[in-house]
Amino acid sequence: MTNPSIRPRTTKDLPACIDALAIVHASDRYPVNWPDDPGRWLTPSNLVKAWVAVEGSGVVGQVGLSQLDAAKLEPPLARAIGTPAGPVGSITRLFVTPQGRGRGHATHLLEVARKEADNLGIPLVLDVSDDDHAAIALYERAGWQRAASARADWLNAAGEHALLHYYVSPETARKPTQTE
Ligand SMILES: CC(C)(COP(=O)(O)OP(=O)(O)OC[C@H]1O[C@@H](n2cnc3c(N)ncnc32)[C@H](O)[C@@H]1OP(=O)(O)O)[C@@H](O)C(=O)NCCC(=O)NCCS
């Protein structure tokens, strides 16, 4: 672990993560719609691991690494990463509370997830809505590369089908993917 403010998330962290998510939802409409079961939203069935960013004893942010089925990737994204045969990692549920922002927490959360994907030997991708300018700036500053864009089936805050940009991690962009 390179940064002392980042540690693996435990079940005991979930209430604090839900509180932090409520603050982020109120300030940023992330997620666009408040989930019926926020605890489940933070622990999707394909989650591999999650980490929290802490300041003092308080959780100010978190990120998850989930595993996608390569066969179900958006075709342009699959092509961009060489149509992998095995699992693909995906950054999910990344957020930092407004009080914790601008201090590199999201950058460090992304780094630990990247390291984990690298250790697992899987390509790593993420998607971001085109109206999320802060997150796009974060990813591009950290060297993520835009590989494809496509409309989502869910509606953004403006009531339109969100335009999603798909990014690949710097490691994934550098390494050729194993294909069948
Ligand atoms: C996006 C988000 C995670 C950034 O968290 P953060 O901890 O403040 O990010 P960092 O401090 O690591 O920022 C790193 C870089 O990202 C970019 N960045 C972050 N916030 C930005 C903003 N509001 N405007 C422009 N660039 C921004 C900058 O390049 C920044 O580097 P700098 O501070 O040296 O200029 C946070 O704003 C957030 O939780 N937003 C709502 C939820 C969300 O959009 N999640 C992503 C879903 S895909």
Q: How far apart are CA 161 and CA 82, in angstroms?
A: 27
6-174 fold = Aminopeptidase (3.40.630)
pTM over 0.85: yes
121 C-alpha to center of ligand 1: Å? 27
What pLDDT score does 76 carry? 82
Q: How far apart are CA 174 and CA 177, in angstroms?
A: 9
Region for residue 71 given its phi and psi (left: phi exceeds 0; alpha: psi -120 to 50; beta: otherwise)? alpha
Structure tokens given for 179: 């294909």
Q: Is 131 in the pocket of ligand 1 (CB under 6 A)?
A: no
Q: Is 134 in the pocket of ligand 1 (CB under 6 A)?
A: yes
Mean pLDDT, the chain, whole residue set: 93
What pLDDT score does 36 carry? 98
What pLDDT score does 1 carry? 45
Cβ atoms of 135 and 91 within 8 Å: the answer is: no
Cβ atoms of 106 and 140 within 8 Å: the answer is: no
Across 24-28, 44-48, 76-80, 150-154, least confident range: 76-80
- pLDDT tens digits for range 47-80: 999 999 999 989 999 999 999 999 888 888 888 8
Q: Is 105 in the pocket of ligand 1 (CB under 6 A)?
A: yes
Q: Amino acid letter at 105?
A: H
Of 166, 29, 28, 11, nearest to 100 by C-alpha is: 28
Q: How far apart are CA 39 and CA 28, in angstroms?
A: 19
- pLDDT tens digits for range 72-106: 888 888 888 888 889 999 999 999 999 999 999 99
Q: How far apart are CA 35 and CA 91, in angstroms?
A: 19
- Best residue among 29, 55, 101, 165 to mutate for probing ligand 1's pocket (most ligand atoms within 8 Å of CB) is 101
What number does the ligand 1 atom closest to the CA of 30 have? 42
Spell out the domain ranges in the chain. 6-174
What number does the ligand 1 atom closest to the CA of 27 have? 41
What pLDDT score does 2 carry? 54
SS3 (DSSP) at 160 = coil
